[in-house]
Structure formats: C-alpha cells, structure tokens
Structure 1
Amino acid sequence: MDTDQILVLGIGNLLNTDEGVGVHAVRMMQAQAEAAGGVEGVVLHDGGTLGLNLLPLVEETTHLLILDAVDAGRPPATVVELTKDEIPLYAGIKMSQHQLTFQEVLGLALIRGRLPEYLHLVGLQPVSLEIGTELSPAAADALPRLVERAWRVLSRWGVSVPW
C-alpha cells in the first residue's frame, strides 16, 4: 500500500445534534488510533462543514471513507453504508444540511477525473437535527457501531486496525 493514500473524513455540523455524527465518529477513531499507537497509512480528518475546501484532500487520496449523517429514509439511529456507486454525486439521498456542498465536492472531483478510486460512506440516520452540541441518546448509543463499521471498511482496504 505504499502508493495508496487513505483518508477517513468525518463531516457534519456539531451545532445540530446528530448532524455532527461524522465529526464525533472520526474523533472517536482518532482516540482509538492514538491509544493503539497510531494507524499507519491512514489520515483521520475532521472535515466539519468545510465543504469545497475539502476538494484538495478528496482529490489527493486513492481511498476515501466518509463518515456523516445520512437521511436515507431508514429508522432513526440506523447505521447506513453506501458504496461508491450508491453515493449520490449531485442529488439523490439527502445526506445532511451541508449535503449540496459536499456532493458538489464529489461531483467536481469526478468531473476533474480525480474522484478517489475507492469511495465508501458509513453514516447514521439522524434522530434529531435540532440545535445542540451533543448527539441524541440513540445516536450516541449507535456511534460505536458506526465506528466499528468504519474500521471494517479500512480492514477490507488492507489497513491493520487497532482492535
């Protein structure tokens, strides 16, 4: 994997309860990786609501794992996985309040011929998008499952995960 660049990107707004689940997830992964002495070959990045500013990061990676709140019409607090072919690049599943900007990032990367070869999303059907800095109790309970699924994706990509 010497030439592969693996990016785990947690996106979301921490001011809207479950909208921030991607950021909470990547922070949990950062803590787990740090406790294990690091995870080689993986960048764990808090993308917050940076939108188009994330384009260079997206275009420079070969493997992109997105962690986010996903409105996929599933029961609240359900962990949702989407593969590259299932992730809407322009419209479709409403991913979050910042969806258009991040979908534009993916769409622009595609148009420019720089969409990562490997692209996967692990997200959570939000319970609440109200103003608040903490996850809803159900989303907080589901967060470890989301993070475990994210580590599984990385494991499939050949990463030695800290478990």
Structure 2
Amino acid sequence: MEKIALLGVGNILFWDEGVGVYAARFLEANYAFAPTIDIVDGGTLGMGLLEYLASYDRVIILDTITQETMAGTCYVVPAHALLALPTIKSTAHEVEVVQMLQASMLLEDTAQVTIVGIVPMDICRTEFGLSQPLREAFAHYIDTALEVLATYGITATPRTHTTSLDAIIERAWKGQNF
C-alpha cells in the first residue's frame, strides 16, 4: 500500500498565505480517510519538509500559487510542471517550496508530488484569516484536494461533527490542535 502525505504549507500570519495550513487542518477535522493518510501542518518549514518527500510514495502539497488569474482560482499541478512555470518564485515562501522540490530531485527515491494551489488575493497583509475571494473559493479548494486524493484511491468520509473554517482559523492562531 502506498504511503500518502497531505502537507498544508504557508504562513498564517500573512492572510491568504496560510490557506494551505487552514485547508490541511480543515480536512483533518472534517473527514476520515481510508486508507489512512498523514496530514501535516507544514507551516513555513521549507526545506524541513524534504523528509516527507523522501519517506512517502505520494505527497500532496496544499499552498498558494502565484498566477496572473483571479484570486481563488484553483490549480492542480505536478511538481515538474510547477518548476517550469515562469511566474513561480514570486515570494520568499514560494522560493522555499521550489528549492525543496528541486532538492528532492537529487534523492534516489522521492515521492510523486502534486501541488493543489489556489491564487491568493494578498499574502503580504499581516492578519489572520483569509480574504473574501479565498473564503468564497475555500469549499472548491477543499473539493479539489479531495478529488486529487480520490485519484490515488483515497476515500474521504465526512465526520459526524464538523468544524467550520472560522473555528479552524481561530484554533490555528491560538496554536491549538484538534
């Protein structure tokens, strides 16, 4: 059986930049997965996430992606295609993710990586939460991540008790786990 990890990355201190972290926490709080997957709040670990690429068969990264499209637009991009995008490396965080992916190519055995990205409205504003366009697109972003998991044979079953996006955001900035 394949080992699959879902990594939510980003910085929750910078508004939309935290969407990957919020999405990972939302999925963990609201769904049970079969077979089991590991859901990781990767925050801003950058190269520290390289160990996940070395120890899993497949890794799905939830993150923002800089593109010249409307905020809230979702993309599913294999790592090799992400590295070829001309608009990538626009922020320090994106540089870290790109460097991690480039470094993983030096490993003898590395995970197949897929990025589920969403275009942010603002990743510079110092504020917890998400902009209105990302709030409106959040359900679609979650559905996109679930669709990617389904292509890997992962079934997501909604939990009986759900946790709202607002509760996820509040717990994240308070440093609370689930």
Give the corresponding residue for 2:22: 24
Deviations 1:23-47 (A, max 9, x none): 01101101112xx4x5433111110
Given that residues 13 and 20 in structure 1 are in contact (C-alpha distance below 8 angstroms), is that contact kept between their aligned partners in structure 2?
Answer: yes
Deviations 1:88-123 (A, max 9, x none): 18975236431122211111110123331x221111
Give the corresponding residue for 1:128: 122
Give the corresponding residue for 1:5: 3
Note the 1:10-159 alignment, pairs <5 A. Answer: 10-33=8-31, 36=32, 38-88=33-83, 93-94=88-89, 96-116=91-111, 118-129=112-123, 130-159=125-154
Given that residues 89 and 98 in structure 2 are in contact (C-alpha distance below 8 angstroms), is that contact kept between their aligned partners in structure 1?
Answer: no
SS of 1:88's equivalent in the other structure is helix
Give the corresponding residue for 2:169: none
Q: Give the drift of 1:70.
A: 0.5
Q: What is the CA–CA distance in structure 1 between the aligned matches of 2:84 and 2:36, rounded to whole Å?
A: 26
Matched residue type, 2:118: L
For normalisation by structure 2, the TM-score amounts to: 0.81
Q: What is the CA–CA distance in structure 1 between the aligned matches of 2:26 and 2:128, rounded to whole Å?
A: 16
Q: Give the drift of 1:77.
A: 1.4
Q: 1:53 to 1:20 in 2, by over 3 A?
A: same
**What is the total number of aligned residue pairs between the two structures?**
157
Q: 1:90 to 1:109 in 2, by over 3 A?
A: farther
Q: 1:90 to 1:100 in 2, by over 3 A?
A: farther
For the aligned residues, what is the CA RMSD? 2.0
Given that residues 10 and 45 in structure 1 are in contact (C-alpha distance below 8 angstroms), is that contact kept between their aligned partners in structure 2?
Answer: yes
Given that residues 72 and 94 in structure 1 are in contact (C-alpha distance below 8 angstroms), is that contact kept between their aligned partners in structure 2?
Answer: no
Gapped regions of structure 2 (runs ≥ 5) = 159-178
For normalisation by structure 1, the TM-score amounts to: 0.88
Identity of aligned residues (%): 27
SS of 2:157's equivalent in the other structure is coil
Q: 1:8 to 1:127 in 2, by over 3 A?
A: same
